[in-house]
Chain A
Amino acid sequence: MTFQQTVPSYSTLILTLVVLSGFVVALAVHVYAVVIGLVRRPKDITPKQYRFEKTVDGRLRRHDPGWPIYVHRQWAADLHNQYAVAWGTYVQLWVRARKRFNNGAWILIFPVPVLTFASLCAVWPFMVALTIVFLSAFVAVYIVAAPLHWLLVLLMRIADDVWRASHGGTASCPDCYALMPRPAYQHAGCSMVHRDMRPSAEGAIVRVCSCGTGLPATGTAASWLLNPLCQHCGAPLHKGAGAIRDVRISVVGEVGSGKSMFTYASLTKLEAWSRSLGTAFSYADQHSKSAANVARISLKESGTIAKTGPALPRALTVQVGGVVSGALVHLFDSAGTRFHDVEAHDDMKYLGDSHGIVFMVDPFSLESVRAELKRQNRSELLREHPLKSRPEDLYGAVVSRMRAAGHRVRGQRLAVVIGKADLLAQAGIQLPTDSAQISAWLHDRGQHNMVVAAKREFAAVRYFAADLRARDRAATQFDPSAPIRWLMNSRRFVGEQARRTRPSVQQESQAEEVAA
């Protein structure tokens, strides 16, 4: 066989070796790209980068401090990094080969540079093929994982929203009185605040905080497991805020009409009522607990409690019931003096956002009652309870101020409470117990304007008489918690609690509903 005859055979061998080396080099480059680009030095999308990333049009978009899920951001970063490393390495091979053989000595080792560049040329189609294979793997994972994730997000959001809608769906701040559909949540471990705790790109069921801790992704679960904060002022909210019913009740009335006494007495009786139902009752924060304790001690020692200061009140909050059917009841005890200050009134935002208003009537400010006491020569009672403005004057002022501030009145319930029923009883004046009779009692004693207007101006009005110093916790006549329970029922609370408890309580609740 001549040399000319063997050339095709050796060419075939060389061609085969070049093609094989092309495959091996392309495979090695991709293995290197996987090790470097995905394992050793990946371009991680950290919460810090994700949180302050810019949108396409250059605007800053602020996300929560959580890790984005893989298919949302990291997938694209890994894809880019993988191919940047792979093709960057391939280009580097060309650059190095060119540097190595770019001198006059290459002629001495003639076949080596030719084989090197031929092999590099053979690498290219395998690089393209492996690129397509890896791209297919990335796309396949995305096509499966991304729709599954967003479907799960949709389902979890629906479940979360349905729960919140059926359990209140609003949280309120006891400090700044702001209402918000969703509070912010602070992770106690790292103090990071998550402002939009919903199933999202940070997770459908669990979101990973920037500190690496798994947190619940739904607001309902986060309300119990994390620390809810006000979205506006950052003040701590109560556990369960936004996940259970939020009942806001404002207590208004003239100076000395017994608003504070009523507030604490009603909470005491509400606790007794809850215990009788077998329902959980607790003060929702330390402030409320301390204030209730101080009031209880003061009542025990001196029979009265200190007058409310002129500052805006922080809500006294109690949780009645559990996680499923409970409610956070906020009582705002407004200082009577604020209703005489024209400017101060407008900052009582909680008045307009309340579900119900307790309007305290001091019976000693009714002229006919004072005349009766004079006839009985009860001057000590008259001195203890000096004449103030008439209740219907204050009622008019409260309603007109609320309207002027743009608050809704028509959607609220009004509980008109005649306090100090025990003192009147001592003087031989017996208050009726039925709402219609109390209404008529007030109507006959010069408060007809209030009685007539209230029926027209509020969604529902009911009249109560309250014994604010009742020693007997079980007493039901003049029960100061009755107005609160009636107002709580505006949020379908009492009825729902009763359905979960004894038949006798169910009947009582139904009777209350009918009466309302």
Chain B
Amino acid sequence: MSGRDEEKVNMQPMSVSAFRGLIIGSAAAPILALTLAFFGWGPVGPALSQPIATLTSWFFSQTGLTLP
């Protein structure tokens, strides 16, 4: 266990780990959902695929760029 006293961790309340897990989960859930949605997957993928496609085509039309 690098840089951390194992005894100290053992004495630390369990609630600290639980809260950290809750925070990590709360942050990871929307990131994962948005990433999957970008590719049209996941629970919100179908709902977001149309706005993302519209936004992408608008960007290319404005910049004059095209995919090779």
Listed in ascending order, the chain A residues whose CB lies under 8 Å from chain B are 6, 8-13, 15, 27, 34, 38-42, 44, 46, 67, 69-71, 74-75, 78, 130, 133-134, 136-138, 140-141, 145, 208, 210-212
Contacts and interface: CB of A to CB of B under 8 A. Distances in A.
B13 A67 contact: yes
Contacts of A208: 11, 13
- What 10 A-B pairs are tightest by C-beta distance, nearest first? A212-B11, A9-B68, A137-B26, A137-B27, A12-B65, A70-B19, A208-B13, A41-B3, A134-B27, A8-B65
A67 B19 contact: no
B44 interface: no
Contacts of A75: 19
Contact of B3 (A40, A71, A130): A40
B66 interface: yes
Interface in B4-26: 4, 8, 10-13, 15-16, 19-20, 22-24, 26
A477 B16 CA distance: 64
Interface string B43-68: 00000000000000000100011111
Nearest to A134: B27
Nearest to A66: B13
- Give the secondary structure class of B's interface: helix
23 contacts: A11-B65, A12-B60, A12-B67, A13-B68, A15-B65, A27-B31, A34-B27, A38-B24, A40-B2, A67-B12, A67-B13, A69-B15, A70-B19, A78-B20, A133-B27, A136-B26, A137-B24, A137-B26, A138-B23, A141-B23, A141-B26, A145-B19, A212-B11
Contacts of B22: 141
Residue of B12, B26, B27, B31 contacting most chain A CB atoms (<10 Å): B27
Interface of B: 1-4, 8, 10-13, 15-16, 19-20, 22-24, 26-27, 30-31, 60, 64-68
A210 B10 CA distance: 11
Nearest to B14: A208
A contact patch SS:
helix
A27 B26 CA distance: 15
Given A40-B1, A67-B16, A134-B27, 17 more contacts: A6-B68, A11-B65, A12-B66, A12-B67, A13-B67, A40-B2, A40-B4, A67-B13, A70-B16, A74-B16, A136-B26, A137-B26, A140-B26, A141-B23, A141-B26, A208-B13, A212-B10
